[in-house]
């Protein structure tokens, strides 16, 4: 038995999956991770992603990322046609490795933040966001 909400979510997900073209430059999470880390090992923890558990509208999902001690953070969306969302590089004038923005999510998926720490190591976090209406339009 599906509730109305689940049915809508499933329908939207299926429609998004059917209409999204796999572009020649579509980067997967693995490729985007390798490009950011240069193949170095990525630990877990030390990064906090704040995002809604359920996003009504995938066109604008508020996300904030905090990674104390990080010099760079990259944000990836595992279920989007292109995994890269944004990369933040903090300069000497940054008060904290803390950013907030609004992102597009095509369907329910994991979002992943990888932080490069001052010592050159990498650490990451991942959260799932359920999307009611996908944000890849079409």
Partner 1 sequence: MTDVRPRIRLPRSASAGDSITVKTLISHDMESGQRRNSNGDIIPRQIVNRFTCEYAGVLVIDMELHGAISANPYIEFEAVVPASGDFVFTWYDDNGEVYTATESFTVS
d(CA 73, CA 90): 9
> Of 38, 61, 44, nearest to 109 (Cα)?
61
Least CB distance to partner 1 at residue 2 (A): 28
**Contact positions vs partner 1 (CB under 8 A):** 19-21, 23, 59-61, 64, 77, 80-82, 84-96, 98-105, 135-138
Our CB check for partner 1 shows the closer of 34 and 96 to be 96
Our CB check for partner 1 shows the closer of 6 and 31 to be 31
Our CB check for partner 1 shows the closer of 7 and 118 to be 118
Least CB distance to partner 1 at residue 89 (A): 4
Residues sharing a CB contact under 8 Å with residue 1, sequence separation 6 or more, in sequence order = none
Least CB distance to partner 1 at residue 1 (A): 33
DSSP string, 8-47: HHHHHHHHHHHH----TTPPPHHHHHHHHHTT--EEE-S-
């Amino acid at each position: 038995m599906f509730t109305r909400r689940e049915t809508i979510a499933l329908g939207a997900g299926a429609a998004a999956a059917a209409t999204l073209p796999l572009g020649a430059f579509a980067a997967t999470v693995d490729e985007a991770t390798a490009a950011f880390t240069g193949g170095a090992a990525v630990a877990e923890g030390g990064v906090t992603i704040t995002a809604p558990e359920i996003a009504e509208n995938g066109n604008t999902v508020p996300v904030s990322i905090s990674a104390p001690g990080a010099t760079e953070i990259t944000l990836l969306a595992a279920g989007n046609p292109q995994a890269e969302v944004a990369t933040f590089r903090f300069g000497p004038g940054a008060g904290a490795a803390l950013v907030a923005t609004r992102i597009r999510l095509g369907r329910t998926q994991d979002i992943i933040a990888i932080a490069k720490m001052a010592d050159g190591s990498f650490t990451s976090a991942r959260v799932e966001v359920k999307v009611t209406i996908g944000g890849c339009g079409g």
